[in-house]
Structures are given as C-alpha cells and as structure tokens.
Structure 1
Amino acid sequence: MSDSKGDRPTGALLMGRPFGVPVYVTPTWFLIAALITWLFGGQIDVLLPGLGKTRYLVALFFALAFYGSVLVHELAHTLVALRLSLPVRRIQLQFFGGVSEIEKEAETAGREFWLAFAGPLLSLLLGGVFLLGLSLVRPATVPGVLLAALMLSNFVVAAFNLLPGLPLDGGRILRAVVWRVTGNAMTGTLAAAWAGRLLALAVLIGMPAWTAYQGVDQSVATTLIDAALGAVLAAIIWNGAGGSLRIARLREHLPELRARSLTRPAVGVEADTPLAEALRRVEAAGARGLVILDGGGEPAALVREHAVRAIPEHRRPWTAAGAVARELEPGLRIPADLAGEELLDTLRATPAAEYLVVEADGTMLGVLAAVDVEQAFALAMAGHSPVPAASNA
C-alpha cells in the first residue's frame, strides 16, 4: 500500500498498518472525540458524582475505547476483503465512525453478504464481551460505568449499521439479498440506494421528532443538538447512498472502457525526421499519434503531444521528431485487450500522457492518450458509453 501524500487524506494522521492496510485518523475525529468527552463527562457526573474533574479523563478513555471498537469493526470488513482477494486501500476513522476503502466489488452476492455482515457481527461480539465483563464488576464504579457504556455503544453501532440502506452495512446486506434473488447486482444496488435515501429522510425527521416526544424536560440546547446531529447524519446517509449508486453505474460501464477502442491510429518515423515532415505524414494518414522507430523499425519512443504544441510552427522543420519524444519504458507498452478496471490500474501504475498499444504478437496498434481515457471515464461516470478515440478526430 502506498503511504504517499496523495494517498493520505488531508490533515489525517497515520496510526498504523494492521494487516498491511494503513489506518488514518482524520481531523474530524478529534471533534467527535471532544464532543463525546464533554457529553459523557456530564453523564458520569450524575452516575459518579464524587469524581469531580477526573470524570473527563474517564470520558476521554471511553471515547478512545469506543473508537477502538469502531476500528475492530472496520478491521473485520478488511480481513474478509483480504480473504476474498479484494484490495483495501485504507481505513479512515472520522466524524461518524469509520470506513474501509475496499477498491473492488465482491464477485458474488454471497461474498457481498459476508463482507457487509462481518463488521456488525464483530460489534455484536464486542458488546457481548463487555456485557460479560460487566457481570464481573460493581455497576456504581468507574469500570462498571465504562463497561456498560462500551457494551451499549457497540450494540448501538451494530444495530445502526444493520439498518437496511446504503451506505450502511445493512444496505449492502440488502443489496446482496436483492442481488441473489434477482441475479442482477445493479438491481440490488438500486434497491439499497433508494432504501438509504428513505432512511436519511427518516433520520432527518425522526431525531427532532423523538426529542420533542420526550416532553418538556429536554432543554433547548439538547433539542438543537439532536436536530443538528440528525441533519448531519441524514446528509451523510443521503450522499453515501447517491455515491454508491454513482459508483455502481460507473462499474456497470467500466467494461466498455477498452484500450483497443480508445487507441489513436499512429504513424511511425525515425528519430531524425523533421517534426514538420512527421506531422505531415500523420495528417496524410489520418492518424493522431506519432511513434519513433529504431533502426530495426521497432517502436522506441512516443512523441509527446504537449511537447509538440510547445514548438512554434516556424521551428518545426528544424526540430527532429525524436527531440520531443519519451523513450518507451516497460510500463508505457500496454496490451490492446486491456479493459475496465484492469486498464485503469495499468495506467495508474505508470502515469504518462501517451502509451503504446500493442497486439498480442507485439505489433503496434497505435497510441493511447491519457486525455482520451479521462474523457471516456467521465462519460462512464455520467452513465454513458465511452466514445472511441477515432470519433473525436
């Protein structure tokens, strides 16, 4: 896994690499940890009034232990994903819990079910462990209060995550069930995403309504906090459901993203060919790519389009085509049959503006421009079929 700044969330701290997967704590986590410490500290003052200011240290310990439980929840997803050979980019602990960024979808409904259910199952087991521990201590003590709070919080985390709507684990379970029944993964995603949006509306309306139902004992501050948390949580669920739907539609169109259909026809020239003459041959052939050939007629370098544009026209007759070319490295030569996620993964491994596309026997097919892939990817994101590069000429 990469530990580069580009892979690290903005402002996040790397806490470790369990099972080789980086775990980051985002800045928003500190906000919720402070809020939990403040709110739980007030509750401890009622339950254990003799602690004084020490109650906030106990509350801080609970906040840390609670997020430790959240990390265990996410590690359960991660372990199942790794067992299913699904790469996990990273785990993030943030404002409303955590997220395991699994880079590929499960191949079957059954695998999707277990991948989703692993987290809530571990939270239920942790809640059971804390319940067992609670039976071994006195309730009106610091250990008793902490164990009771951790038991309750893990059961709540499990119950909340099992709610049937994306992006929650319960939504993925619903997706797996509908997928299994219909035989169509996209149908499962649609059902779970719309269930997630309905759930978001229920949270938005339900949290303040429940507070109002509690009666006059609730303070204005408590009512406002519940309404604000409900709105934030509803927005997260709504956006997560929409994001899941967009990703599913993207994955549906990704197989149409093929190196062969996006490849630009290319012309081969020797390195000492004047650039003006090389461009004339490209235009005459109706091509859009330019490849430098070695003495044996084999591709040796790719002429960089942006470098050509930087050469004024009056200098092009005196500039050799090889002067604006990039030598062919191993990662710049890609098979014509690459498609979908495999194509994107190959391009990410060696970032470049142009790639040489070759047939299975090694013969040159043409040049693949990164800009064409980006445009096709944007079309796929919008739910449209990618347009072959030749149609953009």
Structure 2
Amino acid sequence: MKIGKIKGISIKIHYSTLLIIILAGYSASSFYRLFIPESSILELIAFGLLSSLIILISILAHELMHSIISMKNGIDVKEIEFYFFGGVSKILDEPEDGTTEIKIAVVGPVTSLIIGGMLMGLSFFPLTNVFIGLTFFYLGFVNISLGLFNLLPAFPMDGGRVLRAILWNKRKDIISATRTATKVGRFIGASLIGWGFIQVFLFGALGGFWLVIMGSLLRQNATESYQQTKLIESLSYIKVDDIMNRLYPLISGDLTIAEAIFRYFMNYRRQHFLVEIDGDLAGILNLEKIKDIPMQRRKETYVRDIMQPIEGVPHIKQKIDGKQALKELRKHKGRSDLLLVESKENSS
C-alpha cells in the first residue's frame, strides 16, 4: 500500500508491517514495565504504540538516506517498502564502483547511530516526566542496536556491502568480491541459526526462533544476491545488437481488437505487437491493455484506439550492452516492458 512520496521516492507499507508494530510495541511495553512495575494498561499501550511508530520513522530515515545517496550518485530508486523484517530501498542498479557502494551502504547505519545517540543523550537530561525519559532511552537503544546490527559484515546487509565494496576496490572484480562477501554472509546466517536453536533448546527462550528465521533469510538473500550480481555482470559481455529481435510482427492499427486477438495474439503467443498506420511505425499494442476492454466492445474498438504511442516507448541505442539495457528496462518498468532499439536502418 502506497502512503506517500519523499523526494520523488514512493513509500509503501506491506500488510506484514503490522507485525512490526505489534512486536515492537509489546517489547517496548515490557521494557517500560521493568522500570515502572505499577504502570497502568493505558500507559503500557501508549508507550508501546508511540515507540513502535517512532521506530518505523527511524527505519524510514535509515532507508531514505540510502536512497538519497544512491540518487546523488546517479542510481535510480524505485521505492522504499516496509515489511515484516523492517524496510528496504529498492535501488534499481548496482553502484559503478566500490567507493560509491561504501557511501550508499554505510550512510544507513550511521544515520541510525546518530539518531540513537541523540535520543540516548536526551534521556540523560534531567526530565521531570519519566515517560518521556524512558521513551528517549528505549528508542536510543533500539536505533543504536539497529545501526550496529546492520554493520555486521553479512552480505547483503549494509555491513556486508561495505565488505564487498572493500574487496571490490582491492580485487577490481565485483564477482569475486561478491562471492567472498556471500560466503561470510552465509556463515553469519548459519551462526544466527545455531545460536537461535541453542537459545530455544538449552535455555527455553522462544525468542531464539527469531534468530533462526533471520539467519535463514540472510543465507537465502545472500545466495540470491550473488546469483543476481553474476547474471547482471554477464549481460555486460552481450551487445543489444546480438539479442534484439529484428523480425517483430507488425499489425495494422485499423484492425479491431477482436481481429488482433484472433489473427495475432492467439497465433504468435506474444504479449505485445508493433502497430503500423499508413506504413509508419505508430505504437505498441500490449495484451494487458486488451484485457481492460470488455468482451462486447472488442469488435468495435480498434487497435489504434488503445495502442501505446511510439513516442512513449523507451528507446535504447543498438550498440549498448545488455547490462545497460536492463538498467533502462528497470527504469521504465510500469510504463513499458519492451525497449525499441534505434538503428541506422529502423527500429526493432
């Protein structure tokens, strides 16, 4: 669910974020009761709710700084999304070098540590209101813990990305650097799983299951990130000219939608077709657009009426590599899932 935009970046909340609010609120209330045993239910609810909401704002600040530094370095950011285990900035491309990655990765934990330090400092001021003092102290502790945890060299967490960036600068090989960082990330993930099981079975602490889940996700994400990096880098050795489709079927803009479905979509099993009008390339007809047209109107609606005009379709140069093409495709995701390749002869 989209809740707004900051600096052009969409902010979304997944329904599982509700669990963060509940768990963070419960943890905060338990902390408050340790210091104020005689606290009322209303006080506990207020402390838990206030703390969980400010924690979400702190996570947003953490992720927003990742996104801002990414954009300052020419890397597009699609959105920031909150979900069960926190927040994530959906950065659309890898940094160009290790130094840039260090800047992007380290700014999030540093932001959390600064926020935590400020809040912790405020808690030591002479405050007449215990509720406010404990709020500052608890939120300061949470933010400092968040910053330190993210600095663990566990790829693809922030600290793991810093490790990869250092290795990348040293070896001049992002694949080798990512492979090593992935191994470290998987080891730390396995350690979290092991410690979680020890807590559960030796000490009876059910909270150990969270470590098991986090460790499992860390290992999975590390492997997936490595595979993704290998795939993206392999595309840099392939030219668009080698993989472009030069024999793309053209359909007339004067056909009805029903005719286009019967003669083209059913026969060729494609998601989209180029549209020509009076011999000129005019646009693209996408299957998703056709689905929006009611059955009873498909015999009276023409291709030219619902096609995407050619001016709105992203274009790329014929000689760029597959990695650059993928970057362009990600940049335009939502507006088009097709790129036209500009050549001297025509577009393909």
TM-score grouping bracket, smaller chain normalisation = 0.7 to 0.9
Residue in 1 aligned with 2:318? Answer: 336
SS at match of 1:22: strand
Aligned length: 306
Structure 1 segments unaligned to the other structure (5+ residues): 1-11, 272-288, 307-321, 368-393
C-alpha contact 1:48 1:141 (8 A) present in aligned 2: no
Q: Judge conservation of contact 2:164–2:180 (CA < 8 Å) in 1.
A: yes
CA distance in 1, matches of 2:283, 2:144: 59
Of 45, 60, 63 in structure 1, the residue corresponding to residue 52 of structure 2 is 63
Cα deviation, residue 332, structure 1: 7.5
Give the corresponding residue for 1:378: none
Report what 2:336 is aligned to. Answer: 351
Q: Using a 3 Å threshold, how does the CA distance of structure 1 residues 347 and 114 change in structure 2: closer, same or farther?
A: closer
Cα distance in 1 for partners of 2:160, 2:142 equals 20
Deviation at 1:46, TM superposition (A): 2.7
Asked if 2 retains the 8 angstrom alpha-carbon contact of 1:269 and 1:293, the reply is: no
Structure 2, gaps ≥5 residues long: 253-272, 288-302
Change beyond 3 A, Cα 1:291–1:175: same
**Residue number among 83, 107, 111 corresponding to 1:118 in the alignment:** 107
Equivalent residue for 2:21, pick from 33, 44, 52? 33
* Contact preservation (8 Å) 1:120, 1:159: yes
Residue of structure 2 equivalent to 1:86? 75
Aligned CA distance change for structure 1 residues 139 and 148 (closer, same or farther; 3 Å): farther
Counterparts in 2 of 1:45 and 1:75: CA distance versus 1, 3 Å: same
Distance 1:132 1:64 in 2: 20
Shift of the 179–48 alpha-carbon distance from structure 1 to 2, 3 Å rule, reads same
Name the aligned partner's letter for residue 133 of structure 1. L
TM-score by length of 2: 0.77
Structure-2 change in CA distance of 1:264 and 1:28 (3 Å): closer
- Correspondence 1:240 to 2:221: yes
SS at match of 1:36: helix
Write the distance in 2 (CA, Å) between the matches of 1:246 and 1:195. Answer: 15
**Alpha-carbon distance in 2 for matches of 1:28, 1:17:** 20
- Determine which structure has more spread, i.e. the larger CA radius of gyration: 1
Read off the aligned partner of 1:59 and give its amino acid letter: G
- Per the alignment, residue 19 of structure 1 pairs with 7
Instruction: Tell me the distance in 2 between the aligned counterparts of 1:212 and 1:358.
Output: 63
Aligned to 1:45: 33
- For residues 290 and 69 of structure 1, the distance between their equivalents in structure 2, rounded to whole angstroms, comes to 47
Greater Cα offset, 32-41 or 68-77: 32-41
> 1:208-237 CA distances to partner (integer Å, 9 max, x unpaired)?
425667x6xxxx4xx12x232112111221
**Alignment-derived partner of residue 63 in structure 2:** 74
Displacement of 1:358 in angstroms is 4.4
- SS of 1:181's partner is helix
Larger mean CA deviation between 50-59 and 168-177 belongs to 50-59
State the Cα RMSD in Å.
3.4
Cα distance, 1:327–1:209 mapped onto 2, change above 3 Å = closer
CA contact (8 A) 1:193 1:241 kept: yes
Q: Deviations over 1:278-307 (max 9, x none)?
A: xxxxxxxxxxx9997967xxx546999x9x
% identical equivalent positions: 24
1:268–1:79 CA distance, 2 compared to 1 (3 A):
closer
1:211 to 1:151, Cα distance in 2 relative to 1, 3 A = farther
User: CA contact under 8 A between 1:127 and 1:155: conserved in structure 2?
Assistant: yes
